[in-house]
Structure 1
Amino acid sequence: MALLENLVLVFVAGLITALATGLGALPFFIIDDISDRWNVVLWGVASGIMVSASVFGLIFEGAAAGTLPAVGIGMLAGVVLVVVAHEVIEDYEPDPGAYAEADFKKLLLILGILTVHSFPEGVAVGVSFAELNLPGLQDGISFLGFGVPVVAVFITVAIAIHNVPEGVAISIPLRAMNVSEPKMVWWAVFSSLPQPIGAVIAFAFVRYAREFLPYGYGFAAGAMIFLVATEFIPEALELGEHVDGGGRLELVSGVALGFAVMVPLAFI
């Protein structure tokens, strides 16, 4: 099978995982107005989703692919990314239109970090296809004339499933900024577009991708966790000022729900 056809198949697999992120925005087509109390819960859910995905997905996978120090170095780089991005966006003079300037900057930061973090997941998809159409493939299935490794099917499906709650996490701040539902779907998918790109690059240079994969996973995890700590939680607590008890019960409940959604998926 020609290299180009293999690359196309890997790109389509990565694109499927990206499109799955858009599914997370669909519930907001039937939800109109959200009270401060429920906004606090949803910010908590988003936080729980992202932290649990980082710890039980990215960090665990990074440690399995390499060493914990490598993951730690990647996490530190991810934190630096958020700090630098924050400084760049703070210095940026936006033309927000219908959005308040502060909300527009928050939107840029959240979408930017989530877009960057999706690249290592695409790399994981590409790496899982490493034995695509290789002679003597043991654990594989036949699909449209391709010999596809079973692990590639598993990783593609698993990341697609993980991307659905990430789409919810992305849609929550967009809903708070009164972004339309179709645009929420678009931005959710947009945040995962690096996945098919990362998949193709990793497949083409799979020997090198395996070596750098733990750093990539750590990078994504560090960026996501720091984003939750510096943006999601403070936003929830700010909204909670108008809720009985400061919204802390709602926030904790939301975080717990986010973990309950993501932790089982991490062990699929």
Structure 2
Amino acid sequence: MDVLGKLVLVFFAGLITALATGIGALPFFLVEDVSDRWNVALWGLASGIMVSASVFGLIFEGLSSANGGSLTGVVVGLAVGVALVVVSHRIISGAEVNPKQYEEANFKKLVLILGILTVHSFPEGVAIGVSFADLGFEGAPEIAGFAVPLLAIFMTVAISIHNVPEGVAISIPLHAMGVSKWRMVWWSVFSSLPQPVGAVIAYYFVRTAREFLPMGFGFAAGAMIYLVASEFIPEALEVGEGLPGGGHRELLSGLTAGVLLMVPLAFI
């Protein structure tokens, strides 16, 4: 597969995760509301999958991808990944996007919104791109004739699952505004469009400068783990405030299911 073909495949994987955000709007085609219990469980499932994929996939891969210096690279990458998320959040502090603004935005405002969303979801795209670093190498499972790393498959699925409850969260205020169901799907997908772009950039970088591959794996893992701790779990607990036990039971059940689902990644 030529370079352009590989970039297209990586972009397509990122696009799949973006489209998965639109799935979060689909329940509103069937019901008027999505229960908080299911929302919390989905956030927990996504968190468990993301942390497991980061530890069993990205970090383990980073430690085995280079020479003896790979540990230092992974650790440095972890620190940089966390730092990026922290700095990004400070940059957009006070500029959080309310989905209600989507329908009311003019072109300038949409550009601003997309910029904020890029800062918010770019690390997830980076994780996808880095996981494709060994694309085309022998021994990888084949999909449609392409040798795709197993880690890339797991990471694409993990981020797609995470994006579903995010799509639900975006669709709830739009539904309350009376926005049409298909437009809710579009705006949900729109919120994750930076992911395929981030995936292509990260993939191209780690393939061009393979000596930085351990750092790239650590960077993606650090960003993902910190996002889970600082955003996903707090979001789940906020949604579950009105549930018995504050939603902790549903969150723990989802986390456990997510971890168990990804444990095989450590042994493959």
The answer to whether the aligner puts 1:7 opposite 2:11 as a matched pair is no
Specify whether residues 91 and 41 from structure 1 end up closer, same or farther in structure 2 by C-alpha distance, changes over 3 A only: same
Name the aligned partner's letter for residue 83 of structure 1: V
Specify whether residues 214 and 240 from structure 1 end up closer, same or farther in structure 2 by C-alpha distance, changes over 3 A only: same
Q: Which moved further from structure 2: 237-246 or 112-121?
A: 112-121
Identify the match of residue 160 of structure 2 among 163, 167, 185. Answer: 167
Name the aligned partner's letter for residue 235 of structure 2: E
Q: Which residue in 1 is equivalent to 2:250?
A: 250
- Number of paired residues? 240
Cα offset, 1:119, TM superposition? 2.6
Q: Which moved further from structure 2: 75-84 or 254-263?
A: 254-263
Q: Which residue in 1 is equivalent to 2:196?
A: 192
Q: Which moved further from structure 2: 55-64 or 188-197?
A: 188-197
Q: Is the contact made by 1:78 and 1:223 (CA closer than 8 Å) also made in structure 2?
A: yes
Cα offset, 1:167, TM superposition? 1.7
Q: Over aligned residues, Cα RMSD in angstroms?
A: 3.6
Specify whether residues 249 and 79 from structure 1 end up closer, same or farther in structure 2 by C-alpha distance, changes over 3 A only: same
Unaligned stretches of 5+ in structure 1?
101-106, 132-137
In 2: Cα distance, 1:88 partner to 1:46 partner: 25
Q: Percent identity?
A: 38
Q: Which residue in 1 is equivalent to 2:179?
A: none
Q: Secondary structure of the residue that 1:193 maps to in structure 2? A: helix
Identify the match of residue 147 of structure 2 among 149, 153, 156. Answer: 153
Specify whether residues 17 and 266 from structure 1 end up closer, same or farther in structure 2 by C-alpha distance, changes over 3 A only: farther
Name the aligned partner's letter for residue 98 of structure 1: K
Alignment of 1:56-205 (within 5 A): 56-66=56-66, 67-92=70-95, 96=98, 98=100, 112-119=119-126, 121-129=128-136, 153-155=147-149, 158-178=151-171, 180-188=184-192, 190-203=194-207, 205=208
Q: Secondary structure of the residue that 1:192 maps to in structure 2? A: helix
Alpha-carbon displacement from aligned partner over 1:79-136 (angstroms, at most 9, x marks no partner): 11111111111154x6746159xxxxxx98786354234335424535444x7xxxxx
Specify whether residues 61 and 38 from structure 1 end up closer, same or farther in structure 2 by C-alpha distance, changes over 3 A only: same
Q: Is the contact made by 2:21 and 2:166 (CA closer than 8 Å) also made in structure 1?
A: no
Alignment of 1:44-55 (within 5 A): 44-55=44-55
Specify whether residues 165 and 125 from structure 1 end up closer, same or farther in structure 2 by C-alpha distance, changes over 3 A only: closer
Q: Which moved further from structure 2: 81-90 or 177-186?
A: 177-186
Question: What TM-score, normalized by structure 1, do the two folds share?
Answer: 0.74
Unaligned stretches of 5+ in structure 2?
103-113, 175-183
In 2: Cα distance, 1:57 partner to 1:119 partner: 14
In 1: Cα distance, 2:45 partner to 2:92 partner: 25
In 1: Cα distance, 2:99 partner to 2:191 partner: 17
